[in-house]
Amino acid sequence: METLRTLYMGISSGIDQPGGNVNMDIVWQIRLPRAILGGMAGAALAVSGTALQGLFRNPLVSSGMLGVSAGAGFGAALGIVFFKSALMIYVLAFAFGLAAVFFSYTIGRIYNSAPAIMLVLGGVIVSSIFSALLSLVKYLANPYEELPSIVFWLMGSLASASYRDIAISSIPIIAGITGLFIMRWRINVLSMGEREASSMGINVNIDRIIVVFCATLATAGAVSVCGIIGWIGLVVPHMGRIIAGSDNRILIPASISLGASFLIIVDNIGRAVTGTEIPLSIITAIIGGPFFVYLLKKYKGGNW
């Protein structure tokens, strides 16, 4: 007991006195919030991709295809150029990420007989529009101060992770992940097709809205504080299927764990490979691209 008490007092003193113990400060004030935020963001992106792939019965769908990333990027660029406040960057990125999916869903409702396909097409349209608006903001931004900040944010990073970032992003991320976890068995039914789901008593439109909203909420919460991190929502679900199968009741919890672990490992690689930190999207693309080619070769266009 005395040993445990001594250890606890040492940890407490390291937290309460930032200048007292450099090693404890590094662990508790830099490494720990970075690992926690990375795990939360990775889990959110992975589980969102898993849910949307099951919902649309398409192995190439991820939350970015619905316009979340493009909308959040535009919002963050506005925050960097006009407000220069970290809080406003988070708020605008989150708000425009949600707005992009809302516009995608509105476009998808134009043709009611194939809403799932139209929702993806609506996402492509909205992503293109927000990408153009983002390019406009980058063109108007100060090339010496604002433009580098925008570019670095768009590549994704956990370098500035703090407990405040965790507190800000935890509400939408936890809410979105919890909603998808609760809906995981309904995603199994929705993946069978609209007619089959309706015959089993499922309200297809309502359940689709809930799944899309929860996936968007989790993704927007992650992107707003970490920037745009590609490939996780696309590749990690397939890793989960190799390990746990295609049953979303098991796959969604597996994706949460795999996504969190994957982003933490990627972040460690980005810090360890070179003397300067490599943005996360670069590493996820380097890892995700070849792995996806392997999946294409393995399944040869068949069932995933």
Rounded CA gap, 85 and 141, in Å? Answer: 15
Q: Could you tell me the pTM of the whole model?
A: 0.88
184 pLDDT above the threshold of 90: yes
Residue 19 or residue 134, greater confidence: 134
Alpha helix ranges (H) inside 57-193: 68-78, 86-108, 115-140, 146-154, 163-182, 184-190
* C-alpha 258 chain-centroid distance: 13
The per-residue DSSP string of 9-56 comes to HHHHHHHH-TTT-HHHHIIIIIIHHHHHHHHHHHHHHHHHHHHHHHHH
pLDDT (tens digit per residue) in 158-176? 988 999 999 999 999 999 9
pLDDT at 236: 94
C-alpha gyration radius of the chain: 20
234, 47 Cβ separation under 8 angstroms:
no
The predicted model gives 178-195 an average pLDDT of 91
The predicted model gives 128-153 an average pLDDT of 93
111 pLDDT above the threshold of 70: no
Task: Work out the burial of residue 88: count CB atoms within 10 Å of its CB; fewer than 13 is exposed, 13-18 middle, 19 or more buried.
Answer: middle
Q: Is CATH 1.10.3470.10 the classification given to domain 39-53+60-299?
A: yes
pLDDT at 1: 44
Rounded CA gap, 255 and 261, in Å? Answer: 10
79, 18 Cβ separation under 8 angstroms:
no
Measure Cα distances from 61 to 71, 116, 163, 206 in Å.
Answer: 17, 11, 32, 20
Cβ-based neighbours of 247, under 8 Å, separated by 6 or more: 188
Task: Work out the burial of residue 271: count CB atoms within 10 Å of its CB; fewer than 13 is exposed, 13-18 middle, 19 or more buried.
Answer: middle
257 pLDDT above the threshold of 90: yes
